[in-house]
Amino acid sequence: MSVMLLSGAVLIAQILLVLAMGCAAWRVLWGPRAQDRVLALDALYVNAAMLLLVFGIRSGSTHYFEAALLIALLGFVATAALSKFLMRGEVIE
Amino acid sequence: MNDLPLWAAIPVALLLLFGSALALIGSIGLVNLRSFYARVHAPTLGTTLGIGSILLASMLYFSVLQTRFVLHEILIAVFIVLSTPVTLMLLTRAALYRDQREGSSEVPAVLPSDPPEKEVP
């Protein structure tokens, strides 16, 4: 009973998160300006971290947690560097 | 998928569905809203409450599964909560700067009589 409930919830959550990543990817590809693409990339990173956490619940192993932490870290660095680039034209001054 | 007692499986399932629905709503807002300054608000729905409830579900699931406290997901929560406002403020300032330089009608222009911004030490 609880296995069925949990696997159904995990499946629906995965589908919703993949749809969310699709919306963010649409904005990355067709965003009218550069700042829209960077914003959508940030949203895509966070959605990918959530999807990895749901994968971790599905497989019952804690290894996916480290991948999610790494993606959150890289998303922060990427968005900070890209917005610095949009502001100044170079990343490291 | 391991067997969990029902009192733990129901909150885990509800938190998972709630968090992923919030992430989807935020991303739909990212597609639907009209201007960039409106779109900045949308994905923060997923980066605060959405990822928070999924992390809570993960903590609850692994704590019950391993019959000990598994709390290392707090690390992601603290990190996301600290980093998202910083990056989005940086990005919005960059976008405002770019729009003002282009003379876009969407943002207030910089008046020539405005005093220059002081350098923060």
The residues spanned by each domain of chain B are: 6-101
Query: CA B48, CA B43: separation in Å to the nearest integer?
Result: 9
Chain B residue numbers with beta carbons less than 8 Å from the beta carbon of A53 are 51, 54-55, 58, 73, 76
Query: CA A72, CA A88: separation in Å to the nearest integer?
Result: 24
Nearest to A50 by CA among A75, A30, A79: A75
Query: CA B94, CA B17: separation in Å to the nearest integer?
Result: 35
Q: Could you report the per-residue pLDDT of B11-58, keeping only the tens digit for each?
A: 999 999 999 999 999 999 999 998 889 999 998 998 999 999 999 999
Taking an 8 Å cut-off on Cβ atoms, the answer to whether A23 and B28 are in contact is yes
The domain made up of A2-88 has a fold known as Helix Hairpins (1.10.287)
Report residue A89's pLDDT band, with 50, 70 and 90 as the boundaries: confident
pLDDT of A20 over the 90 cut: yes
B28 interface with A at CB cutoff 8 Å: yes
Searching chain B, which residue's CA lies closest to the CA of residue A27? B31
pLDDT value, residue A12: 94
Chain A residue numbers with beta carbons less than 8 Å from the beta carbon of B43 are 24, 39-40, 42-43, 46
Taking an 8 Å cut-off on Cβ atoms, the answer to whether B50 and A50 are in contact is yes
Taking an 8 Å cut-off on Cβ atoms, the answer to whether B98 and A65 are in contact is no
pLDDT value, residue A44: 93
pLDDT value, residue B88: 92
ipTM of the prediction: 0.89
pLDDT value, residue B113: 57
B67: distance to nearest CA of chain A, Å? 13
Report residue B6's pLDDT band, with 50, 70 and 90 as the boundaries: confident
Q: Could you report the per-residue pLDDT of B59-69, keeping only the tens digit for each?
A: 999 999 888 88
As a dihedral over the C-alpha atoms of residue A17, residue A48, residue B76, residue A6, rounded to 10 degrees, the angle is: 40
pLDDT value, residue B116: 60
Taking an 8 Å cut-off on Cβ atoms, the answer to whether A40 and B21 are in contact is no
Taking an 8 Å cut-off on Cβ atoms, the answer to whether B27 and A36 are in contact is no
Chain A interface, best mutation among B87, B89, B92, B101, by max A CB count within 10 A: B87
pLDDT of A27 over the 70 cut: yes
pTM, whole model, 2 decimals? 0.87
Q: Could you report the per-residue pLDDT of B69-120, keeping only the tens digit for each?
A: 888 889 999 999 899 999 999 999 999 888 888 877 777 777 655 556 666 6
pLDDT value, residue A60: 84
- How is chain A split into domains, by residue range? 2-88
H-type helices in B1-121, by residue range? Answer: 6-32, 36-39, 44-45, 51-66, 74-102
Residue A81: Cβ-neighbour burial (10 angstroms; 0-12, 13-18, 19+): middle
